[in-house]
Amino acid sequence: MRTRTESDLLGSMDIPADVLYGIQTHRAVENFPPAGQRRLGDYPVMVRALLAVKQAAASANRDAGFLEARIADAIIDSCAKALDSSLPALFPIAALHGGGGTSANMNANEVLANLAEESLGGQRGAYRIVHPNDHVNLNQSTNDVYPTACHLAVLRQWAELRPVLQKLAAAYSNKGQELEQIKRLARTCLQDAVSTTFADYFGGQASFLLRAAERIGAAVEALYAVPLGGTIVGRVSDVPPEYLDRILPALREAAGEPRCRRSDNLFDAAQHIDDMVHVSSVLDLCARGMIKLAKDLRLLGSGPEAGFGEIALPAVQPGSSIMPGKVNPVIPEYVIQLCFRVTGLHAACTAAVDHGELDLNIWESLVVFSILDSMELLAAAARTLDARCVTGLTADAERNARHADSLIPRLTELMHTHGYSKISELCKRHRGDPAALRQALDQEL
């Protein structure tokens, strides 16, 4: 394998000659084994966000007079070239790595420097025309670049999850309307309660999903506030005012996010990542609610003879290798497991809030990739529940009617006309003998 030699603070080392990244990325690949996790390049939404920040910085530095136009434009063009390439090959570092995102930032700096260097007639790895730090990273710190990219990535990933949740809500609502004429028995504490309709029940599920989407959207909304310009710990005096004035407008244009604004307190933004962890917390709530939805489907569809048997879920595969005729509720079970993973990812995120010591919370990688994973998991769960379960489920009208006309619903109706005390006295007198109680109701009321 052909190699080239690059140098950094720690010395020199040989890296593959054809790679577009440089020595610091190569060190990160060696230092942080993937250990079953995904690479930075496996998250295109994160790479796009990071490159948008780099594009904005190059534009702001050019317009402020700190970068030659030909170098700035080469860096900007390189952002588009990078996105047209194989991202896992360009961004091979493990998603979780030490240093508060420094490896991810330098990975982007090196890739863009090499692409820009070559476009201006230079040699890959030479950095004589375009340098990763002196040019691509000019007036930036990992500590404002990386969290800004994290915010942008979550905003973009949410744009993909939102319509999926809304579509699942619509599926529940439509199913309720379809089965509106079928009475069903509501249950509290897993005991008989009153009669309702499937429109009532599924309408409640749809309402939860829409509220969950609303709650996530409100939490994500806060991420339009970004710390770009705060550099190391929030001190804006570390960058020239000419750059500081231009970087946010440049980011809005590069990222296509006109609502981006600078965080109100940049020192706060450096020290705390509770805004991102709040997004994780509402994703956790959504996942727990979806677990309830899926568990309810399993319960209502249990049987076929000795369970509730009030609904029938679409049969998508045989349920047993030894019991002929058995069909399991595998889609709700799939959804439940995906949502269990979301709750686990949030548990990790909560640790990141209080472990950010002193002037910088460096655990953004853990939080942002947990959020991105959680959003992907919830999207997969919602799509599958919609397409392969809710849309095709049916209800057993006869069985539901029989259950809805059982004793407790009748007692509750009679209570409205005869009073709680009188009905309760009859129940007390015939406790444990439903047949006798029914006879008494017919004879005495």
Average pLDDT over residues 224-230: 97
Least confident of 314-323, 333-342, 369-378: 314-323
Instruction: Flag whether pLDDT at 443 surpasses 90.
Output: no
Contact 120, 130 (CB under 8 A): yes
- Name the β-bridge partners of 196: 184
Output the CA–CA distances (angstroms, integers) from residue 238 to 56, 139, 193, 231, 361, in the order listed. 18, 8, 66, 7, 19
pLDDT at 430: 85
pLDDT at 153: 98
pLDDT at 433: 86
pLDDT in tens, 201-221: 999 999 999 999 999 999 999
Q: Considering the chain, what is the average pLDDT of its residues?
A: 95
Question: Per the confidence metrics, is the pTM higher than 0.75?
Answer: yes
Enzyme catalytic residues: 320
Instruction: Flag whether pLDDT at 282 surpasses 90.
Output: yes
pLDDT at 421: 93
Q: List domains and CATH numbers for the chain.
A: 3-138 (1.10.275.10), 150-240+262-400 (1.20.200.10), 406-444 (no CATH)
Instruction: Flag whether pLDDT at 253 surpasses 90.
Output: yes
pLDDT in tens, 393-442: 999 999 999 999 988 888 888 889 999 998 888 888 888 788 888 888 88
Confidence of residue 39 (pLDDT cuts 50, 70, 90): very high
pLDDT at 89: 95
Instruction: Flag whether pLDDT at 377 surpasses 90.
Output: yes
Share of the chain above pLDDT 90, in %: 89
H/E stretch holding 82 reads helix 69-83
Who's near 343: CB < 8 A, 6+ residues apart? 284, 287, 288
Contact 187, 87 (CB under 8 A): no
Question: Among candidates 65, 50, 49, 51, which has minimal Cα distance to 243?
Answer: 65
Instruction: Flag whether pLDDT at 254 surpasses 90.
Output: yes
